[in-house]
Amino acid sequence: MGMPPSNPLSSPKLKVAGGESLIWGRRTYVMGIINVSPDSFAGDGLASDLPAVVEQALRFQAEGADLLDIGAQSTRPGHTPISVEEEQARLLPALEAIAPEVALPISVDTYRAPVASRAVEAGASLINDIWGLKADPKIAEVAAHYGVPLILMHNQEGTDYQELLPDIFASLRESILLATGTGVAPENIILDPGIGFGKTADHNLEILRRLEEFRALGHPLLVGTSRKSTIGRVLDLPVDQRLEGTAATVALSIVGDADIVRVHDVKEMVRVCRMTDAIVRNWRPAGWRQ
């Protein structure tokens, strides 16, 4: 049995793997990435192959994912944005195929309110906005209307900062105020520092080194480092050889008090999380004996 949670943050009403209520601080929650774009940076885009999408969702569930995150538009550097109509045409069939098959909350990765609204109606139970309401503030209205958690990520054009963390904190506070001012419950706000978005490799490493400072913002943290270019830069490895580098960043994110890690390699990162949780959060598996 797991040890009592130490995180005082209020938790949203979500059931994760095994029907367990999500409680911040109990353990690290693993979010498995499902890309239905044809041009994902990680090379894992499934496009319109619905059987493959469902197969991946079921595999992630079996491997121990707590949540799924499905997105239909690539966010890799240099990507070409698609229309709302095309994003919905890619996303909704996949979401409608997955939702009845898994017993996990599904997050929709979009920064457009019309897409978010349709996705929640189709079975999504979280909204993951990579622009933190700066691209389309009406996403907050969708989250408030349906009462679903909202992930607010820091993002910006370019990589210029006066001071890295203070600038990121100021931007995230603006996002939080936009959300709560529109009616999103504070316990439904999750923050993401935006590793790899509007940041250099050195910025990303500094954020990971100072991650615990984000606790001053008063909301749980999601961290997404999986297979990203900073790992490639440090290790001089292509995207398909960044598993160990990802594992290191995931473990150290947990040391820095991350609550959710967003990953491509679910089986391996669940193991990394559980081992790290046993040390950092005093978590223990069911049936643990001294």
pLDDT at 44 (0 to 100): 53
Distance CA 109, CA 34 (A): 10
pLDDT > 90? residue 46: no
Taking alpha carbons only, the member of 248, 166, 175 closest to residue 210 is 166
Looking at 90, 118, 228, 242, which residue is catalytic? 228
Q: Which domains does the chain have, with CATH numbers?
A: 17-280 (3.20.20.20)
Q: What is the pLDDT of residue 4?
A: 42
* Mean predicted confidence (pLDDT) in 258-282: 98
| 271 carries an active-site annotation | no
Of 240, 189, 237, the closest CA to residue 217 belongs to 189
Catalytic residue among 262, 271, 274, 281: 262
What confidence tier does 77 reach under pLDDT thresholds 50, 70, 90? low
pLDDT at residue 1, as a whole number? 37
Model confidence at 50: pLDDT above 70: yes
Look up residue 5 and give its DSSP letter.
Answer: P
The amino acid sitting at 276 is: T
Query: What pLDDT digit, counting tens, does each position of 158-200 carry?
Result: 999 999 999 999 999 999 999 999 999 999 999 999 999 999 9
| Distance (Å, whole) CA 45 – CA 36 | 5
From 66-75, 97-106, 140-149, 172-181, the region with the lowest mean pLDDT: 66-75
Alpha helices, H only, the chain: 50-63, 84-98, 113-122, 138-146, 164-182, 201-209, 229-235, 243-255, 266-280
Please confirm, yes or no, whether 262 is among the known catalytic residues.
yes
What pLDDT does 5 receive?
45
CA distance 225 to 245: 9
The DSSP 8-state label assigned to residue 79 in this structure reads P
Burial 228-259 (b: 16+ CB within 10 A, else e): bbbbbeeeeeebeebbebbbebbbbbbebbbb
